[in-house]
């Protein structure tokens, strides 16, 4: 491990500018430094990484292979340093210009984003939220939480860190209204073994709550298509003999426009509880506390509407 006491952390800022600009003069302009000062910093960076970092090729410069590998690492480090320094004993949402990073499924973003943006306009006009999709991997890591202010996912997903439940929805089966497998609004368990499903996929090795629900019913579904997230699923089912399970809000929002129907299956339904997850180190950050409260308010408006 590098002894940080022997490292000038200001070099990280210079390295980020060099990797971004790929030119010492432009890097200096971005930082308000002279070109000789940037050259001096580059010399120290070369010694630190035992690599030239930036090399001349004709009349221009190029990053070395090692420097290219450093780009995402330095970007993440700059983000985390900024977030660390953004933490303060107080947070005034009415004057803040902070940008929060939130990751969530396409379904959560579609349902919550309009409400969140409306609340921000009223309560914190200078605050911004950058939305990102969920990490596509078998398991969300602590590092994934460090890179974000909050990650919204199912409360039973076994994610690390702290969490706060937000809102719930139950899964329902949808099909085209003319699907020949439907009999008086039902698809029996026997037919469910033969019918083809459209599956919502969230990355390699991820077992979804729908996968678990079908397994508990003793059904090994025949997968016709796998799609990333929930939103494409109703569109892929419309006009076909396929079926699939989606959150009920999504089913109700797309049913009439796409000619779909919600089908009884005899399978015990499961409820999805969406929760905000964050890294434990951010628990006492007043800005994070405010953000979680805002997510709770948006969730209440989603579930119960505006009573005013």
Determine the pLDDT at residue 154: 85
Tens digit of each residue's pLDDT, the chain (308 residues): 555 556 677 788 889 999 999 999 898 888 888 888 889 999 999 988 899 999 988 888 899 999 999 998 888 788 777 666 665 567 899 999 989 999 999 999 999 999 999 999 999 999 999 998 887 654 667 667 777 889 998 877 677 778 899 999 999 999 999 998 888 888 876 677 778 999 998 877 788 889 999 999 888 889 999 998 999 999 999 999 999 999 999 999 999 999 999 999 888 888 989 999 988 878 888 899 999 999 999 999 998 887 55
Best CA proximity match to 274, nearest among 155, 159, 192, 184: 155
Q: Is 296 exposed, middle or buried (0-12, 13-18, 19+ CB in 10 A)?
A: middle
Domains annotated for the chain, with CATH where assigned, are 4-86 (1.10.10.10), 92-308 (3.40.190.290)
Provide the pLDDT for residue 170. Answer: 94
Tell me how far apart the alpha carbons of residues 233 and 218 are, in angstroms, rounded to a whole number.
23
Among 126, 120, 20, 87, which residue's Cα sits nearest to residue 287?
A: 87
Task: Give me Rg for the CA atoms of the chain.
Answer: 25
Nearest CA to 175 out of 161, 195, 201 is that of 195
Task: Specify which residues 63 forms β-bridges with.
Answer: 54
pLDDT of residue 282: 81
The whole-angstrom separation of Cα 18 and Cα 25 is 9
3-state DSSP percent of the chain in helix, strand and coil, to 5: 45, 25, 35
- 74: tokens are 């330095």
DSSP character at residue 218: T
Residue from 277, 289, 237, 275 nearest 112 by CA: 275
Pairing of strands 54-57, 60-63: antiparallel
Q: Taking Cα atoms as reference points, which of 109, 199, 92 lies closest to residue 151? A: 109
Q: Which of 189, 232, 236 is nearest to 214 (CA)?
A: 189
Q: How high is the pLDDT of residue 4?
A: 54
Asked if 134 contacts 103 with a C-beta cutoff of 8 angstroms, the reply is yes
Question: Among 269, 240, 262, which Cα is nearest to 168's?
Answer: 269
Half-sphere exposure of residue 102: CA atoms within 13 angstroms, side-chain side: 25
In terms of DSSP bridges, do strands 60-63 and 99-104 run parallel, antiparallel, or are they unpaired? unpaired
CA distance 189 to 181: 11
Within 10 Å of residue 85's Cβ, how many Cβ atoms?
Answer: 8
- What's the CA gap between 113 and 103, in Å, rounded? 11
- The pLDDT assigned to 88 comes to 57
d(CA 126, CA 95): 6
Per-residue pLDDT, 79:
73
Please, is 30 exposed, middle or buried when counting C-beta atoms within 10 Å of its C-beta (0-12, 13-18, 19+)?
middle
């Amino acid at each position: 491990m590098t002894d940080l006491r022997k490292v000038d952390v200001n070099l990280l800022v210079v390295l980020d500018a060099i990797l971004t600009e790929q030119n010492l003069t432009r890097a200096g302009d971005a930082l308000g430094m002279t070109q000789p000062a940037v050259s001096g910093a580059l010399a120290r960076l070369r010694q630190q990484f035992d690599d030239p970092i930036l090399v001349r090729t004709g009349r221009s410069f190029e990053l070395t292979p090692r420097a290219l590998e450093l780009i995402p690492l330095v970007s993440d480090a700059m983000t985390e340093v900024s977030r660390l320094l953004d933490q303060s004993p107080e947070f005034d949402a009415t004057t803040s210009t902070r940008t929060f990073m939130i990751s969530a499924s396409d379904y959560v973003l579609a349902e919550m984003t309009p409400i969140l943006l409306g609340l921000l306009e009223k309560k914190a006009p200078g605050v911004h939220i950058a939305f990102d999709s969920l990490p596509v991997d078998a398991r969300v890591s602590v590092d994934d939480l460090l890179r974000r202010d909050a990650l919204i996912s199912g409360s039973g997903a076994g994610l690390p860190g702290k969490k706060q439940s937000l809102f719930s929805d139950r899964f329902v089966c949808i099909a085209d209204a003319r699907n020949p497998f439907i009999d008086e609004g039902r698809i029996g368990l026997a037919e469910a073994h033969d019918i083809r499903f459209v599956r919502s996929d969230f990355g390699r090795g991820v077992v979804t709550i729908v996968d678990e629900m079908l397994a508990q019913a003793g059904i090994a579904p025949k997968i016709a298509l796998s799609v990333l997230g929930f939103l494409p699923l109703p569109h892929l089912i419309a006009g076909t003999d396929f079926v699939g399970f989606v959150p009920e809000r999504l089913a109700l929002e797309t049913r009439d426009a796409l000619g779909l129907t919600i089908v009884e299956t005899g399978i015990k339904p499961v409820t999805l509880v969406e929760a905000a997850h964050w890294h434990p180190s951010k628990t006492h950050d007043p800005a994070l506390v405010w953000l979680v409260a805002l997510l709770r308010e948006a969730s209440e408006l989603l579930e119960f509407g505006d009573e005013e």
